[in-house]
């Protein structure tokens, strides 16, 4: 069975939005991405100022906000609750991964907004793999939840296969790959195929899924799961994900 995942969208995918999406047949719904340390919260505030949506959280109450959102989803839905977080501090990530309402903690090595990259967060973690791997190991060792790492593919200077294999060796439960190809509106299926044949853990393929066909192409190259973000914004009434 292919795992169907609602991908994170900061400023959009809170508990209420995720619950609305649940009736489309997702197995896993992702809350966030949430900024959960002082630097990423401050980066998020700058991103908000230039008009992009973000979740606004205080450093004093980030755990409680995410606890409330994940408990709301847990109480009202019986699927897998995932939380995508942006931080370079493993301790803060562990705090979220140990909430009883969180099934999967997802470390964000994906976001490319300048403000986040400038503080070494999101996609910038891929350019500093030892630092990323230290965070991931620490989180895996100390959380009760399962661990996912979401990363953007085809970032300059990054060896995607090395990243995927290393995350697998560290013991990640999920590798969530945004197989984006710069300037192209379709996923990098060749890369996904290489990753899927090189790792043992669950690979969730992401990018440009808009219908059953585009989802099935990801499954055909070996992905155990697929995730959808932008298509969910316009509704999934013309797309029965149960047919994937
Ligand atoms: C408004 C918006 C906000 C997003 N925020 C996040 C985020 O916080 N964390 C993350 O890992 N990905 C984030 N993404 C990326 C999506 O999860 C997904 O990887 C990307 O949109 C490609 O998938 P799609 O073609 O299905 O949209 C965001 C995407 C959008 C459109």
The Cα 3–Cα 185 span in angstroms is 23
Q: Give distance in angstroms: CA of 123 to centre of ligand 1.
A: 12
Q: Which two three-digit tokens encode residue 173? A: 């439960």
Q: Is the CB of 70 under 6 A from ligand 1?
A: no
Q: Give distance in angstroms: CA of 7 to centre of ligand 1.
A: 6
Q: Is the CB of 196 under 6 A from ligand 1?
A: no
DSSP secondary structure string for all residues of the chain = --EEEEPP-TTT-SHHHHHHHHTT--SEEEEEEEE-SHHHHHHHHHHHHTT-------TTTHHHHHHHHHHHHHHH--SEEEEEEE-S-HHHHHHHHT-TT-SEEEEEE----HHHHHTT-GGGGGGSHHHHHHHHHHHHHH-SSEEEEEEESS-TT--HHHHHHHHHHHT-SEEEEE---TT-SS--HHHHHHHHHH-SSEEEEES---SHHHHHHHHHTT-SEEEESHHHHT-STT--GGG-
Q: pTM, whole model, 2 decimals?
A: 0.98
Q: Choose which residue among 9, 187, 214 to substitute to test ligand 1 binding: the one with the highest number of ligand atoms within 8 A of its C-beta.
A: 9
pLDDT single digits (tens) 206-233: 999 999 999 999 999 999 999 999 999 9
Q: Residue 68 contacts by C-beta under 8 Å, 6 or more apart in sequence?
A: 15
Q: Is the CB of 33 under 6 A from ligand 1?
A: yes
Average pLDDT over residues 26-32: 98
Atom of ligand 1 nearest to the CA of 230: 27
Name the class of domain 3-243. alpha beta
The Cα 102–Cα 85 span in angstroms is 12
Q: Is the CB of 88 under 6 A from ligand 1?
A: no
pLDDT single digits (tens) 37-70: 999 999 999 999 999 999 999 999 999 999 999 9
Please give the pLDDT value at position 137: 98
pLDDT single digits (tens) 175-184: 999 999 999 9
Q: If you count them, how many residues does the chain have?
A: 244
The Cα 235–Cα 226 span in angstroms is 17
Atom of ligand 1 nearest to the CA of 227: 26
Q: Is the CB of 35 under 6 A from ligand 1?
A: no
Q: Is the CB of 188 under 6 A from ligand 1?
A: no
Asked if residue 91 has pLDDT above 90, the reply is yes
User: Contact at 8 Å (CB) between 37 and 14?
Assistant: no
Q: Give distance in angstroms: CA of 170 to centre of ligand 1.
A: 25
Q: Give distance in angstroms: CA of 74 to centre of ligand 1.
A: 22
Q: Is the CB of 110 under 6 A from ligand 1?
A: yes
Asked if residue 140 has pLDDT above 90, the reply is yes
In three-state secondary structure terms, 170 is helix
Please give the pLDDT value at position 235: 87
Nearest Cα residue to atom 7 of ligand 1: 33
Nearest Cα residue to atom 22 of ligand 1: 207
């Amino acid at each position: 069975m292919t795992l169907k995942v609602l991908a994170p969208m900061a400023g959009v995918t809170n508990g209420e939005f995720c619950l609305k999406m649940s009736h489309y047949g997702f197995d896993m719904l992702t809350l966030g991405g949430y900024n959960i340390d002082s630097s990423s919260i401050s980066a998020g505030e700058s991103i908000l100022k230039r008009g992009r949506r973000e979740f606004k959280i205080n450093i004093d109450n980030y755990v409680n906000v995410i606890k409330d959102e994940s408990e709301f989803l847990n109480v009202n839905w019986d699927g897998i609750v995932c939380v995508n977080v942006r931080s370079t501090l493993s301790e803060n990530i562990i705090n979220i991964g140990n909430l009883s309402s969180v099934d999967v903690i997802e470390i964000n090595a994906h976001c490319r907004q300048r403000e986040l990259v400038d503080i070494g967060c999101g996609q910038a973690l891929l350019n500093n793999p030892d630092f990323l791997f230290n965070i991931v190991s620490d989180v895996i060792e100390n959380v009760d939840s399962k661990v996912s790492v979401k990363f953007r593919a085809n970032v300059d200077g990054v060896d995607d296969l090395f990243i995927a294999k290393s995350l697998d060796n560290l013991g990640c439960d999920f590798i969530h790959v945004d197989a984006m190809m710069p300037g192209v509106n379709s996923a990098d299926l060749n890369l996904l195929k290489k990753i899927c044949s090189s790792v043992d853990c669950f690979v969730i393929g992401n990018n440009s899924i808009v219908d059953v066909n585009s989802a099935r192409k990801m499954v055909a190259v070996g992905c155990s799961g697929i995730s959808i973000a932008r298509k969910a914004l316009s509704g999934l009434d013309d797309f029965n994900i149960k047919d994937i």
